[in-house]
Amino acid sequence: MRIERARGTRDFLPEEMRKRRIMEARMQDIAERWGYEEIRTPTFERSELFTLKSGEEILKEMYEFKDKGGRHLALRPELTAPVIRMYVNELKMVPKPTKVYYFGNCFRYEEPQKSRYREFWQFGTEIIGSDRPEAQAEIIALAYFIVKSLGIKAELHVGHVGLIRAILRDVKVEEAEINKVMRLIDKGEREEVIEFMDEIGAKKELIANLMRLIDSRGKEALEEARRIVTSDSDALKELEKLLEILDYYDVVYTLNAGIARGLDYYTGMVFEIYEAGGKLGAQNQVCGGGSYRLAALFGGIDVPSTGFAFGFDRLAETFALEERYLKRKEVVVVPIREGNDYDRDVIKEAIKITSKLREFFPTHLDVMSRSLSAQLSYAGSIRASFAVLVGKKEVKEGKVTLRNLDTGEQAKLSVAECVERVKAWFESSKGSGCAQ
Ligand code: HAM
């Protein structure tokens, strides 16, 4: 009986893993250069970490279970709440702002479809200690430059949940109802927003204003916001300051007051990045983030924070690895058998040169006692660049035979010369590497 993968999960084969590691390294490199440090949190947490803010409703969307000790646990659906829990427990004494990044798998009990999985990966960053426009701009710019460094065509939308919340608070809509409206807006369910507002007795003019604000983009959105949002102008002022700083970073964005974000914890700026090359279909949101306050909820003092998370898998599905990374630069060391077994001196020498080569390149050594032709045919099938032949004759002469598998040329060299030749070839990827 064949055992299939669990629904919504994937296997990653070596080529895909190579690509993902290269992407991860690029993201890490940029985050480090922006002064962020890596952290890691557990794969599962106590369920209340996620239900405290969002309520029991969220359990439906999570992998949650009771362990043998009867504790209620959940596989993490995201990493922001775990990071803030860790901050409250372990990091609150470190200097602020605390700037961290993470890369880890997340689990959501969703209906799987293209680019929507039950196990997926997030790469994210959080600034703990500030939700000021400067922190907001830094987080947005960091996400923007990482996406750019991957050469992915993308569109960045920036909004502020404070605008819509202010409008609704003005007319005394209750917090729970505001959250419901935000969730409907997040799902793009326009008709339901209108219906719900109507149900709770909102005036026609207010509903029209709200819908106009949600629908407008760019300059027009800012004008609408200035016209409609009157009482809580703090949100508007903060947004205006943020947009100014984003211009200094040379970040290209679209103002979109209709971004509500699915998660309940956002308190200020929110942003999303969408893949714009048409490669992802409906699930084209590759990044989400914003300002929030969770520390007090987890028993710490109230600390403002700002962060984002990439949908790593969605980025991987759009990222095209540069040509130069596609062919692995591999070497195969070929001990030459006489009869059915290797000569002791031959295998000893082969292991020695393999160890030397492994300091520099991925190097294979036969583990199946195969014949010379079988080993060379394996080298060909994995598209290795070089074979290093070690026979009794070579051992006696203190040399090895280096064969370039692309050109067929070969030369007898000392181990040191052999390493230098292979290095030079891989560096230039030109020349034969075997010329005497
Ligand atoms: P989120 O928007 O729920 O935000 O998730 C971030 C990203 O994860 C999404 O933009 C999407 O690309 C990806 N994603 C979400 N669900 C799936 C799925 N089922 N399959 C594949 N990819 C998925 C958060 O999680 C927040 N913690 C972000 C944040 C960090 N806010 C502040 N700091």
Residues 259-312: tens digit of each pLDDT: 987 767 899 999 999 999 999 988 999 999 999 999 999 999 999 999 999 999
pLDDT at 153 over 50: yes
What DSSP character marks residue 91? I
Q: How far is the CA of 160 from the centre of ligand 1 (A)?
A: 18
The answer, yes or no, to whether any atom of ligand 1 lies below 6 A from the CB of 80, is yes
pLDDT at position 232 is 54
- Tell me which residue has its CA closest to atom 10 in ligand 1: 287
* Ligand 1 contacts CB of residue 50 (under 6 A): no
Q: Is the CB of 288 under 6 A from ligand 1?
A: yes
Which protein residue has the closest C-alpha to ligand 1 atom 18? 116
Atom of ligand 1 minimally distant from the CA of 307: 33
For 291-301, write each residue's pLDDT tens digit.
999 999 999 99
pTM score above 0.95? no
Mean pLDDT for all residues in the chain: 92
Ligand 1 site, residue 108, Cβ cutoff 6 A: yes
Distance (angstroms) between ligand 1 centre and the Cα of 14 equals 25
Q: Is the CB of 319 within 6 Å of ligand 1?
A: no
Name the residue at shortest CA distance from atom 1 of ligand 1: 288
Return all residues near 128 (Cβ < 8 A) that are at least 6 apart: 83, 84, 87, 91, 96, 97, 98, 99, 100, 295, 303, 305
Is any ligand 1 atom within 6 A of the Cβ of residue 307? yes
The finding on whether 312 has its CB within 6 A of some atom of ligand 1 is: no
Write out the DSSP string of 257-313: TT---SSTTEEEEEEEEEE-SS-STT--EEEEEEEE--TGGGTS----EEEEEEEHH
Locate the ligand 1 atom nearest the alpha carbon of residue 262 and give its number: 3
Task: Reply yes or no on whether the pLDDT at 103 is more than 70.
Answer: yes
Q: Is the CB of 122 under 6 A from ligand 1?
A: yes
Q: Inform me whether the pLDDT recorded for 431 exceeds 50.
A: no
- Give the model's pLDDT for residue 175: 84
Query: CA-CA distance, 224 to 222, in Å (whole number)?
Result: 5
Reported residue count of the chain is: 436
Q: How many CA atoms lie within 13 A of 385 on its CB side?
A: 20
Residue 162 has a CB neighbour count (10 Å cut-off) of 24
Q: What is the mean pLDDT of residues 157-162?
A: 94
| pLDDT value of residue 426 | 87
Task: Ligand 1 pocket test: pick from 156, 285, 286 the residue with the most ligand atoms within 8 Å of its Cβ.
Answer: 285
Q: In what order do the strands lie in the sheet with 410-413?
A: 363-365, 331-335, 386-390, 400-404, 410-413
Mean pLDDT of 215-224: 90
pLDDT at 435 over 70: no
